[in-house]
């Protein structure tokens, strides 16, 4: 599911910072995401997105987060013999992704600043067909990725619900989101041990 911004503006006359005191250890905090030190794969393979984790809210279960806050800022792509965009996958966690500015590399034409996508637990997703074709044929030389872009993701072991406003009232839901994967062709070669396919 993807929600895109449109002409409808919601203006709030309140702020979470208009308070007299904070309860417990909750306090407002401001952080410039452009100061985040990016780590990336430098040899081969697409690294797990957890390398982009800025904040984690731990659960009582070791290794399982209530929520991770992840960003995908400008960085270098240098991995060799690799499909560099995010790979196709399913998660045991739900992902809500948004774009603050720029163009998200896995869906350059269909993901606008202010938009968001939700992939609930075990929902398959990944780059659109155009991104797949482009990345599959690209010469693997060092390149800048996502310059001028800032994308984020909230990943949670809990289920996320979309409000009625988000689904209906806002008129921002992209009912054709799934169509970005329809042009994908199968390149699976079950009898080949070579990533390039049978010779």
**What is the C-alpha to C-alpha distance for residues 75 and 40, in angstroms, rounded to an integer?**
8
* 130 known member of a binding site: no
Task: Residue 49: name the closest of 96, 11, 86 by CA.
Answer: 86
Active site residue 46: yes
The residue annotated as part of the active site, out of 23, 46, 103, 187, is 46
* 105 known member of a binding site: no
Please check whether residue 28 is in contact with residue 16, taking contact to mean a CB–CB distance below 8 angstroms.
yes
Six-digit token string for 106: 């896995």
Please check whether residue 52 is in contact with residue 125, taking contact to mean a CB–CB distance below 8 angstroms.
no
**What is the C-alpha to C-alpha distance for residues 11 and 140, in angstroms, rounded to an integer?**
45
* 95 known member of a binding site: yes
* 104 known member of a binding site: yes
Task: Residue 116: name the closest of 89, 146, 151 by CA.
Answer: 151
3-state helix, strand, coil in the chain (%, to 5): 15, 25, 65
Residues making up the binding site: 89, 95, 104, 125
Residues making up the binding site for Fe cation: 89, 95, 125
Residues making up the binding site for homogentisate: 104, 125
Give the active site residues: 46
């Amino acid at each position: 599911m993807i929600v895109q911004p449109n002409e409808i503006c919601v203006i709030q006359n309140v702020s979470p910072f208009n308070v007299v005191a904070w309860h417990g250890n909750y306090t407002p905090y401001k952080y410039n995401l452009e100061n985040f030190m990016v780590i990336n794969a430098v040899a081969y393979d697409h690294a797990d997105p957890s390398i982009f984790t800025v904040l984690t809210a731990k659960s009582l279960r070791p290794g399982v987060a209530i929520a991770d806050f992840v960003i995908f800022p400008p960085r270098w792509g240098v991995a060799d013999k690799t499909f560099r965009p995010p790979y196709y996958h399913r998660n045991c966690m739900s992902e809500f992704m948004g774009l603050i500015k720029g163009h998200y590399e896995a869906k350059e034409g269909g993901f606008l600043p202010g938009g968001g996508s939700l992939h609930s637990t075990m929902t398959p997703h990944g780059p659109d067909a155009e991104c797949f074709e482009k990345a599959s044929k690209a010469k693997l030389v060092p390149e800048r990725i996502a310059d001028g872009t800032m994308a984020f993701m909230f990943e949670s072991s809990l289920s996320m619900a979309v409000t009625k406003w988000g689904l209906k009232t806002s008129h921002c839901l992209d009912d054709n989101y799934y169509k970005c994967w329809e042009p994908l062709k199968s390149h699976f070669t079950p009898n080949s041990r070579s990533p390039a396919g049978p010779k």
